[in-house]
C-alpha cells in the first residue's frame, strides 16, 4: 500500500506505469466527465469514475485482486478505505476469479482505515486486502476514480 496526495511528489521513484496513472489523475478534470470506464492504455491501464454513497464498513466485504493493482483517488467527499495485509488467514466469502479479478472476504484481520480527502490517493496491490467506500458516521455522496493497472505490466512502459 502507498498513500499520498496529488499535490505532493512521491518521496521515491514509482514504476512508470503507476506514474502514468497518477499523471492521468493530475491532468484530468473529473468534474466534467460522466461516471463509467475511461480507457488509458487498453487493458493494461484504465480508469473507473464512480459516483456513489459511502456506507458503514459492516455492510461491505473486504476485497482483493490478483491481476490488477488499484489507485483509489478521491475527487469529492470523504471516504475511508480499510486496508490489511493479505496474510492468507482470512475467510473467503466469495470468489469472482478469474473473470472479474476479485475475491471477497468475510473480514480482514489487522485492518486499518485510511481517510481519503479530495486529492488523496491510495495504491493497493494484490497483497493488500481493501474495503473501499466506507464512512465512519453518516454516509455521504462521493466521487472517486479507481485506476486499474495490470500487474504483468508493472515493470514495462
Give tens-digit pLDDT for 33-51: 999 999 999 989 999 999 9
The whole-number average pLDDT for the span 44-72 is 96
Predicted pLDDT at 156: 66
The whole-number average pLDDT for the span 55-71 is 95
Nearest to 94 by CA among 123, 131, 64, 137: 64
At 112, list the grid cell.
Answer: 486499518
CATH topology of domain 2-153: Jelly Rolls (2.60.120)
Domain boundaries, the chain: 2-153
At 47, list the grid cell.
Answer: 480508469
Give tens-digit pLDDT for 11-27: 889 999 999 999 999 99
Give tens-digit pLDDT for 94-141: 999 988 899 999 999 999 999 999 999 999 999 999 999 999 999 999
> 31-66 burial string, b = 16+ CB within 10 Å, else e?
eeeeeeebebeeebbbbebbeeebeebeeebbbbbe
C-alpha distances (whole Å) from 125 to each of 69, 83, 97, 129 are: 5, 10, 16, 8
Amino acid at each position: 500500500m502507498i498513500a499520498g496526495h496529488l499535490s505532493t511528489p512521491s518521496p521515491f521513484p514509482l514504476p512508470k506505469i503507476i506514474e502514468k496513472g497518477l499523471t492521468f489523475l493530475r491532468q484530468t478534470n473529473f468534474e466534467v466527465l460522466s461516471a463509467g470506464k475511461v480507457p488509458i492504455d487498453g487493458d493494461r491501464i484504465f480508469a473507473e469514475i464512480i459516483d456513489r454513497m459511502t456506507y458503514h464498513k459492516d455492510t461491505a466485504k473486504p476485497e482483493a485482486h490478483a491481476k490488477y493493482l488499484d489507485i483509489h483517488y478521491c475527487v469529492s467527499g470523504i471516504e475511508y478505505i480499510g486496508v490489511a495485509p493479505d496474510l492468507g488467514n482470512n475467510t473467503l466469502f466469495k470468489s469472482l476469479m478469474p473473470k472479474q479479478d476479485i475475491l471477497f472476504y468475510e473480514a480482514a484481520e489487522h485492518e486499518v482505515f485510511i481517510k481519503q480527502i479530495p486529492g488523496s490517493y491510495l495504491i493497493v496491490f494484490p497483497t493488500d486486502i481493501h474495503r473501499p467506500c466506507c464512512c465512519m458516521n453518516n454516509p455521504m455522496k462521493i466521487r472517486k476514480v479507481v485506476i486499474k493497472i495490470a500487474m504483468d505490466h508493472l515493470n514495462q512502459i
